[in-house]
Chains A and B, each alone.
Chain A
Amino acid sequence: MRRRSRAFAAALAVAALLLGAGCAGPAVRVRPWERGQLADAAMDPGRDPLGSALTEHVYFSREAASGGRGVGGSGCGCN
């Protein structure tokens, strides 16, 4: 019984090691040749400067926290 539980523990350890090795790869699994969609202009959050400026304005006016995103100001929310 004891021998069996040791064998089981060893098998579990080997399986965990293999699993760990399998998961320890690079975080990004998208291969260099598969990045066509990522390279699309639609994936760029800053593709529309005017839209970005408006969104930023609404954000810092609403949050009264100007300056937190690289915008100058005192945080009064009045600009």
Chain B
Amino acid sequence: MVTRILRFLAVTAALGLAPRLTAQVVAGDLFPALSAAALGGGPLPATAGKVTLVDFWASWCAPCKASFPAYSRLQTDFRARGLVVVAVSVDESAPAYAAFVAKLKPAFATVHDARHLLVAQVQVPTMPTSYLVDRSGRVRFLHPGFHGDATERELRAEVEILLAEQAPAP
């Protein structure tokens, strides 16, 4: 009986602690491989050796909608120099994802993390959150939330810094 109670307590405690064992991705960490996350929705652009802006968004998130034109401008302005913007939707509904993309017509790649595999691995702190990843695949800057022009200005300055860095030797 006592053993049963102890076993029950141990299992309950383990279940309570389990969600916290997945660490949040922060600046300095390697960003998880996008190709391994079973993403749907659209083709995944090549990101190897490029500066990548990974944005987590959802159709039900108002700041996400406000961020799309800014990311489109960033993609258009820096594409030739090696910036790739990938917007990862965490929508549970595929039609909601498709309708949002069709309406906003972004100038960057959008993919759908329908099973929440990537977002759970990254543990985004809020919606939206964007990660600026350098040419070696390491997160250098992180932007929780989108704050209009201020975020766009910061991103532009950070993208300039990362684009100026050399690609790592193969």
Name A residues whose Cβ lies closer than 8 Å to a Cβ of B: 8, 11-12, 15-16, 18-19, 21-23, 25, 29, 31-36, 39-40
Interchain CB contact (< 8 A) of A23 among B6, B14, B16: B16
- A62, B89: Cα distance in complex, Å: 48
Number of interface residues of B (CB under 8 A): 28
B125 and A19 contacting across the interface, CB-CB below 8 Å:
no
Contact across chains for B10 and A15 when beta carbons are under 8 A apart: yes
Write the residues of chain B forming the contact surface with A, with a CB cutoff of 8 angstroms.
Answer: 2, 6, 9-10, 12-17, 19-20, 56, 58, 60-61, 90-93, 116, 119-120, 124-127, 129
A-B residue pairs in contact (CB < 8 Å), sample of 17? A11-B6, A15-B6, A16-B9, A21-B17, A22-B12, A23-B16, A29-B19, A32-B124, A32-B125, A32-B126, A32-B127, A33-B58, A36-B91, A39-B58, A39-B60, A39-B61, A40-B60
A33 and B127 in contact, given A15-B6, A40-B60 (Cβ under 8 angstroms): yes
Q: A15-B13, A33-B56, A36-B90 are in contact. List 15 more A-B contacts (CB 8 A).
A: A8-B2, A15-B6, A16-B9, A18-B13, A22-B13, A22-B14, A22-B16, A25-B19, A31-B120, A32-B124, A32-B126, A33-B58, A36-B91, A36-B93, A39-B60
